[in-house]
Amino acid sequence: MLGLTGWGLIVLLLVILAAVLVLVAWRGWNRLGGRGPLAWAGRIGVLAGVQLVIVALVLTAVNKYYLFYGSWSDLLGAAGGKSQVTEKPPSNPHAAASSLVTVKSAAQLGPGHGRTPAKDGLVQHLDIQGVRSGLKSEAYVYLPPQYFQKKTQAARFPVAVFIAGYPAADRLTWIDKGHVPEEAFLQMSSGKARPMIYVMMRPTVENGWDTECADVPGGPQVETFFSQDVPDAISGTYKDRTARDRRGWGLAGYSTGGYCATKLAMLHADRFSAASSMAGHFHALLDTTTRDLYGGSKAVRNSNNLTWRLRNLPQPPVSILVASALTGEKTYPSAQKFMEAVRPPLVVDKWMLDSGGHNFKAFRKYIPPTITWLSDHLQGE
């Protein structure tokens, strides 16, 4: 089956447009030149068909560039198609987290696609089954070269969990489009960042449902999954190589993932000490894809509004990087309100573009400063 983000679909649409519909319009137009209802219906059908393929081609090209939907299942889920989520916890809730992680594959992805992990690092593809939430999701984990080197074989590394925007693609977003492993390698090689473990994920645990990383009443417990299941699973899988406590754990994300990263750090300061919001919003943007996240409760909704929390609740002892654009970024006004409400012990830094839209072209520019900022704020051993 043709992939939603591959060139094959674009080529197919071009072939259909050029070799079929345009040909029909050119060769068959005279035959449809009569005045009867069938002739009129035929002409309208040909024109509508050409327009439909052109629109599909444009939308496919835009989706390939911005990665709104990574697969057909993502697209069908957003359109109301059937999707699946595992909500029932495993039969043994006390099982070791590592026993619920499957390593599906591994590949070297350093500059030039290096061949040795000790020189370039290694990316592993995992399936994570949450012990507490019962949710399951994929993750791509970049292990730095130092993880495999003898001189640092006993070292523990900081861990940064990167969460994409909604709905995003799995591998495409952070690896093929964001080039996080290569960027991390370059920042380490230039001395701008320390070696860290990068866990690259997306927030979509159920296709078609933008949960905004919330524990939905009667629904998926996504906040629990990212704040407890994922750290436990990563710690259990990479035994004795991850940071022992919150000082070595951080988050980052763009758009919805930026909101998730900031929220998870603020609500779970016992687990995380820092987070970077790359063009993220600071309250859940409710629409048809989010459904009812809060069970109709105003109190629960307020609790998930990060600016409201700063104004009404004690501020958590975490550090936040707000990366945004002064012009053209639709979430910047909410970022301003958030930053204006900050007071100790919460600390906020900012990294701003002069201009940039809410798209991956801009998101990509936030990744290098996010890596160096997290490196400055997270501690290993």
In the chain, % helix, strand, coil (3-state, to 5) comes to 45, 20, 40
- What the block records as the tokens of 252 is 């980052």
Q: Are 264 and 251 in contact (CB under 8 A)?
A: yes
| Residues recorded for the chain | 381
Indicate the pLDDT class of residue 87, thresholds 50, 70 and 90. Answer: very low
Element (H, E) at 357: none
Using a 10 angstrom Cβ sphere, with 0-12 exposed, 13-18 middle and 19 or more buried, the burial of residue 72 is: middle
* Cα 187 to Cα 78: distance, rounded to the nearest angstrom: 36
- What the block records as the tokens of 318 is 């975490």
* Cα 345 to Cα 339: distance, rounded to the nearest angstrom: 13
Better pLDDT: 169 or 190: 190
Q: Which pLDDT does position 203 carry in this prediction?
A: 93
Of 322, 315, 356, the C-alpha closest to 337 is 322
DSSP class of residue 270?
T
Instruction: Match 């500059």 to its residue by tokens.
Output: 111
* Cα 18 to Cα 24: distance, rounded to the nearest angstrom: 10
Indicate the pLDDT class of residue 100, thresholds 50, 70 and 90. Answer: confident
- For the cut 90, the answer to whether the pLDDT of residue 334 exceeds it is yes
Q: Which pLDDT does position 367 carry in this prediction?
A: 98
- What the block records as the tokens of 284 is 């859940």
3-state secondary structure of 1: coil
Q: Which pLDDT does position 78 carry in this prediction?
A: 44
- For the cut 70, the answer to whether the pLDDT of residue 175 exceeds it is yes
Q: Are 48 and 42 in contact (CB under 8 A)?
A: no
Q: What angle do CA 358, 359, 363 make, to 5 degrees?
A: 95
Instruction: Match 């990509």 to its residue by tokens.
Output: 364
3-state secondary structure of 61: helix
- What the block records as the tokens of 129 is 């089954």
Q: C-alpha distances in angstroms, 66 versus 26, 160, 196? A: 34, 23, 27
Q: C-alpha distances in angstroms, 284 versus 13, 287, 327? A: 36, 9, 22
Cis peptide before 158 (omega within 30 of 0): no
Beta bridge pairs of residue 323: 278, 351
Q: Which pLDDT does position 380 carry in this prediction?
A: 85
- What the block records as the tokens of 133 is 């939430």
Name all contacts of 111-119 with Cβ < 8 Å and 24+ positions apart: 111/182, 111/185, 111/186, 117/143, 117/145, 117/147, 117/148, 118/145, 118/148, 118/149, 119/145
Range in 23-37, 197-211, 215-229 with the lowest mean pLDDT: 23-37
For residue range 154-173, what is the model confidence (pLDDT) as tens digits?
Answer: 999 999 999 999 987 766 78
For residue range 105-117, what is the model confidence (pLDDT) as tens digits?
Answer: 776 555 545 568 9
Q: C-alpha distances in angstroms, 371 versus 231, 362, 366, 368? A: 19, 15, 9, 5
Indicate the pLDDT class of residue 91, thresholds 50, 70 and 90. Answer: very low
Q: Which pLDDT does position 128 carry in this prediction?
A: 94
For residue range 226-281, what is the model confidence (pLDDT) as tens digits?
Answer: 999 999 999 999 989 999 999 999 999 999 999 999 999 999 999 999 999 999 99
